[in-house]
Amino acid sequence: MTGAASLAGELTALGVRPGSVLLVHASIRSVGAVPQAVQAALLDVLGPEGTLVVPTFTAGNSDTSPAYQSHTRGMSERQLAEYRALMPPFDATSTPSEGMGVLAESVRLSAGAARSAHPQTSFAALGARAAELTADHDRTCHLGPSSPLALLEQAGADVLLLGVGFAVCSSFHLAEYRLPEPVRREYHCVVLHGGERRWTSFEDVALDDGDFDALGADFERLDPVVRAGPVGKAHARLFPLAAAVEFATGWLSGKRPRRVSPQSSQNAAKFLH
């Protein structure tokens, strides 16, 4: 297994800066290290003034997600009602992330970690600006102007894709909110309201990551800000979040349909289907 000191050296060589804000999407298996070593290396390079941020999304808190559909397929109406009645409400302090990887869970569970309060697309953070960057996450805004992504952009954050591709680059979603008349849809989730569990719904941009691989390939090919190199056994990419959002906004313009009706698209991001 690769150690924290070796990983820290490679992260520094890639361009991770002390004191910076870093949003990380990672496959620990690809790195060939334990999550604690990767987290320690990241925090070591970022230093006491830096901040480590990870997505801690909860896809299952939905009645349209693949997880929900898989669990409820073939159920009778009574069984479905019982299943829905037992779905736990989102709790930022205890609800595990789903499909975000072991590094995300390691950060979420760390002493001093802060987490945003969105019941489907929360972020967790460690470091100097953790509380600031996760404090305000509007429940009706997944990944737009009232989410940590917008705060990360303002903070001059970098994005690290560690052993994963552009298909999971959540920063590209911020660009979807900047398209002219983006398609919108309704989302459902289970929350605590006044101490009581209840289903709630809200309308937001219809997130679609189906073309993010192609978008990322063009971003990497055309924009020299993308730096690539090895970290452990993984291929890593590092780039400014703001540059990714700017490129994605232009790339997606004209490629996405405009709003027709609130339910005109069900092509939500894979973690929210």
Domain range for 50 is 4-252
Q: Is 25:168 a contact under the CB 8 Å cutoff? A: yes
269 within some domain = no
Predicted pLDDT of residue 104: 98
DSSP character at residue 232: T
Burial, 124: exposed, middle or buried (Cβ in 10 Å; 0-12, 13-18, 19+)? buried
Predicted pLDDT of residue 260: 59
Query: Concatenated DSSP letters for 18-32?
Result: TT-EEEEEE-HHHHT
261 within some domain = no
80 within some domain = yes
CA distances from 222 to 69, 247, 248 (A): 39, 9, 12
Look at the chain and report how many structural domains it folds into. Answer: 1
Round to whole Å and give the CA distance between 68 and 148. 26
Q: Is 122:100 a contact under the CB 8 Å cutoff? A: no
Give pTM, 2 decimals: 0.92
161 within some domain = yes
The one-letter amino acid code at 93 reads T
4's tokens: 């924290």
Distant-in-sequence, close-in-space partners of 210: CB < 8 Å, separation ≥ 6:
267
234-240: strand order across its sheet = 114-115, 123-127, 51-55, 21-26, 158-162, 234-240, 227-231
118 within some domain = yes
Predicted pLDDT of residue 268: 46
193 within some domain = yes
**Tens-digit pLDDT string for the chain (273 aa):** 679 999 999 999 999 999 999 999 999 999 999 999 999 999 999 999 999 999 999 988 988 787 788 889 999 999 999 999 999 999 999 999 999 999 999 999 999 999 999 999 999 999 999 999 999 899 999 999 999 999 999 999 999 999 999 999 999 999 999 999 999 999 999 998 888 899 999 999 999 999 999 999 999 999 999 999 999 999 999 999 999 999 999 999 988 988 754 443 334 455 554
Predicted pLDDT of residue 130: 98
231 within some domain = yes
Predicted pLDDT of residue 1: 65
Q: Cα–Cα–Cα angle for 201, 166, 272, nearest 5°?
A: 15
268 within some domain = no
Predicted pLDDT of residue 254: 84
Distant-in-sequence, close-in-space partners of 34: CB < 8 Å, separation ≥ 6:
1, 28
